């Protein structure tokens, strides 16, 4: 698939901009702070309903405007679909497909799929477990939009359960009569049901990624592996069963074990919101042991593996490389460029033209002061 036209209104620094796009490579070149990343961020937003730079929508709307619009013509197997999003910070976003409103914005998920490489990706290897959970969850949603609902259900149960535990803990500390925990059992069972579904999906995904990450790491760094992904569940060190019902039972048992400390601390201590994926390089964990270059290779391998996985599901995703070449040494830069060059559509941003490897010749746009002008 590819984006044939991108149109923004009141999005980030753009009051209004129209960008026609072709399949193949397109590079946006311009000094920092001129709005290159804003363009690819908008493409990513159409695909994921989220930004890779910020957690909430307010910064996406141009200063002084009330809402932002992102429109993209998406071509897939010769058919063009127009996807439109109205971003209302603090309120519900609205979406239209081919000019007809759809009931929920998430109905547009799946029309466009992207794999985005960004300088922030290094945090997948070096950062907190939350980064790796987000990586898995976003890929889950890209593969099956239904998973967005599963994630939201789980987060809602977690919030309710934490609110209950917190008020109980506060009442205990105040020494007054303990706040009622009579509904805790109910939240336990809802947490286990939603948690088991999310955990099972992440386990399956980790298994599917494993061989692809290993292959991609080898291609990027020519040796140095093998890489091993190990899903680490908060409910215990033993490997999790693959079956959703067994995970549910294991979660219930762990919740029961943790109950005294949960009531003490007023927070939910077990469940997929505290899981992690251990990224191993050889026998050692990459975090803390891998060099800077190796960490970059690992991060690139994770993104390349997502690309392969989405491609195998059908519908080749759009590749977005946001300011990533400047971060890499010459060899990794060339390798990555060779690997992504055959993609159906590759969108690249760079501060200077020399940062774009020669293999990625194609259309060029100069971006400065909110103007996007085609140069090649």
Partner 1 sequence: MYEGAVQDLIDELGRLPGVGPKSAQRIAFHLLAADPADVRRLVNALVEVKDKVRFCTVCGNVAEADQCRICLDPRRDPSVICVVEESKDVVAVEKTREFRGRYHVLGGAISPIEGVGPDDLRIRELMTRLADGEVTELILATDPNLEGEATATYLARLCKPMGLKVTRLASGLPVGGDLEYADEVTLGRAFEGRRLLDV
Nearer to partner 1, 109 or 348 (CB): 109
Q: How far is the CB of 96 from partner 1 (least distance, A)?
A: 16
Contacting positions for partner 1 (CB under 8 A) = 103-104, 145-146, 149, 153, 156-157, 159-161, 163-164, 167, 179-180, 182-183, 185-187, 189-190
Nearer to partner 1, 75 or 269 (CB): 269
Nearer to partner 1, 146 or 292 (CB): 146
Q: How far is the CB of 78 from partner 1 (least distance, A)?
A: 23
Q: How far is the CB of 192 from partner 1 (least distance, A)?
A: 12
Q: How far is the CB of 132 from partner 1 (least distance, A)?
A: 26
Nearer to partner 1, 171 or 339 (CB): 171
Nearer to partner 1, 115 or 252 (CB): 252
Nearer to partner 1, 32 or 182 (CB): 182
Q: How far is the CB of 162 from partner 1 (least distance, A)?
A: 8
Q: How far is the CB of 315 from partner 1 (least distance, A)?
A: 18
Three-state SS annotation for the chain = CEEEEEEEEEECCEEEEEEECCCEEEEEECCCCCCHHHHHHHHHHHHHCCCCCCCCCHHHECCCCCCEEEEEEEEECCEEEEEEEEECCCCCCEEEECCEECCCHHHHECCECEEEECHHHHHHHHCCHHHHHHHHHHHHHHHCCHHHHHHHHHHHHHHHHHHHHHHHHHHHHCCCCCCCCCCHHHHHHHHHHHHHHHHHHHHHHHHHHHHHHHHHHHHHHCCCCCEEEEEECCCCCCCCCCCHHHHHHHHHHHHHHHHHHHHHHCCCCCCHHHCEEEEEECCEEHHHHCCHHHHHHHHHHHHHHHHHHHHHHCCCCEEEEECCHHHCCHHHHHHHHHHHCCCCEEEEEECCHHHCCHHHCCEEEEEECCEEEECC
């Amino acid at each position: 698939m590819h984006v044939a036209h991108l149109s923004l209104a009141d999005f980030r620094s753009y009051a209004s901009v129209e960008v026609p796009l072709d399949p193949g490579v397109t590079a946006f070149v311009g000094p920092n702070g001129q709005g290159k990343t804003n363009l690819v961020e908008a493409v990513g937003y159409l695909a994921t309903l989220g930004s890779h730079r910020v957690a909430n929508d307010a910064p996406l709307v141009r200063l002084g405007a009330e809402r932002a619009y992102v429109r993209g013509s998406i071509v897939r197997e010769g058919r063009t679909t127009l996807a439109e999003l109205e971003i209302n910070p603090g309120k519900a976003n609205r979406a239209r497909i081919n000019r007809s409103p759809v009931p929920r914005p998430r109905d547009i998920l799946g029309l466009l799929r992207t794999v985005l490489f960004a300088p922030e990706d290094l945090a997948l290897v070096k950062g907190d477990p939350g980064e790796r959970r987000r990586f898995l969850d976003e890929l889950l949603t890209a593969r099956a939009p239904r998973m967005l609902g599963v994630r939201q259900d789980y987060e809602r149960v977690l919030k309710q359960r934490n609110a209950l535990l917190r008020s109980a803990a506060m009442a205990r500390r105040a020494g007054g009569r303990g706040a009622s925990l009579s509904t805790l059992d109910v939240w336990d069972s809802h947490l286990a049901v939603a948690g088991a579904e999310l955990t099972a999906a992440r386990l399956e995904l980790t298994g599917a990624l494993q061989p692809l990450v290993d292959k991609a790491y080898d291609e990027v760094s020519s040796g140095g592996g093998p890489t091993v992904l190990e899903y680490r569940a908060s409910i215990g060190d033993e490997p999790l069963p693959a079956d959703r019902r067994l995970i549910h039972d294991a979660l219930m048992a762990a919740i029961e074990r943790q109950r005294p400390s949960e009531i003490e601390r007023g927070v939910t201590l077990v469940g997929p919101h505290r899981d992690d994926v251990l990224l191993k390089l050889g026998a050692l964990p990459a975090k803390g042991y891998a060099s800077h270059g190796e960490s970059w290779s690992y991060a690139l391998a994770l993104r390349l593996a997502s690309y392969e996985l989405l491609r195998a599901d059908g519908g080749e995703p759009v590749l977005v490389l946001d300011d990533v070449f400047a971060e890499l040494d010459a060899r990794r830069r060339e390798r990555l460029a060779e690997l992504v060059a055959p993609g159906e559509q590759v969108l690249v941003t760079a501060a200077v033209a020399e940062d774009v490897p020669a293999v990625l010749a194609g259309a060029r746009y100069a971006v400065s002061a909110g103007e996007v002008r085609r140069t090649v």
